[in-house]
């Protein structure tokens, strides 16, 4: 299976978007409800309908950037959230982005990537995070029987992948997942290694 721009554009056109819950995911909102630095620069890659970005904007976060390579979904977001800054809506391939962010939110993007892209994802996240930056979000804690996406994983797999590049502050069962994902999702906070 080739998972590329055409694949995802087609999924949206067919409304085959079972990952889309229609609102900001509780683990993300709960985390950012505790963050007082409203000027933090935040990236949501593979944002889709970007409900988290809408939530953060309404909470006073001004430097939220959303990124997807499906143009149609970004156009629909702009119609739904007209107050969101146009310059912070990025229609681009995640792997081509060059910038620095204080937070990167992981919400159904990692699991959409075929496993052979995981090391590239990690290297790109590492390059995009500021020296004190954090990658936060949710990851599946299950393997899928059918061919992905989504592609699953486990705590052991994620530790092996991320430990060489990040300080794993939190990687645990997510207590506030939506009901269909309860006990199958991990909440995590991975921090950039501090520069010496």
Residue 135 has pLDDT above 70, yes or no: yes
Which tens digits make up the pLDDT trace of 33-68?
A: 999 999 999 999 999 899 999 999 999 999 999 999
Which run of H or of E encompasses 133?
A: strand 129-140
- Distance (Å, whole) CA 115 – CA 111: 8
Residues above pLDDT 90, as percent of the chain:
68
* Token reading at 109: 């993007």
Q: Give me 19's structure tokens.
A: 């990952």
User: Cβ-count burial of 161 within 10 angstroms (0-12 exposed, 13-18 middle, 19+ buried)?
Assistant: middle
Could you give the CA distance from residue 161 to residue 3 in angstroms, rounded to a whole number? 21
Average pLDDT over residues 6-32: 73
Report DSSP state, residue 142: S
**pLDDT classification of 1: cutoffs 50, 70, 90:** very low
């Amino acid at each position: 299976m080739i998972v590329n721009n055409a694949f995802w554009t087609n999924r949206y056109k067919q409304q085959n978007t079972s990952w889309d819950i229609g609102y900001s995911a509780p683990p993300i909102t709960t985390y950012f409800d505790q963050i007082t630095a409203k000027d933090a620069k935040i990236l949501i890659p593979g944002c889709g309908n970007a409900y988290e970005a809408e939530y953060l904007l309404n909470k006073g976060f001004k430097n939220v950037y959303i990124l997807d390579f499906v143009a149609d979904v970004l156009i629909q977001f702009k119609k739904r959230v007209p107050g969101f800054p146009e310059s912070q809506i990025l229609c681009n391939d995640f792997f081509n982005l060059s910038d620095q962010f204080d937070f990167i939110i992981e919400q159904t993007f990692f699991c959409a990537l075929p496993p052979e892209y995981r090391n590239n994802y990690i290297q790109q996240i590492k390059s995009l995070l500021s020296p004190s930056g954090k990658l936060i979000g949710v990851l599946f804690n299950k393997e899928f029987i059918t061919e992905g996406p989504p592609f699953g994983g486990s705590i052991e797999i994620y530790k092996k992948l991320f430990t060489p590049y990040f300080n794993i502050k939190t990687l645990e069962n997510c207590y506030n997942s939506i009901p269909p994902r309860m006990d199958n999702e991990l909440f995590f906070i991975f921090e950039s290694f501090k520069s010496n």
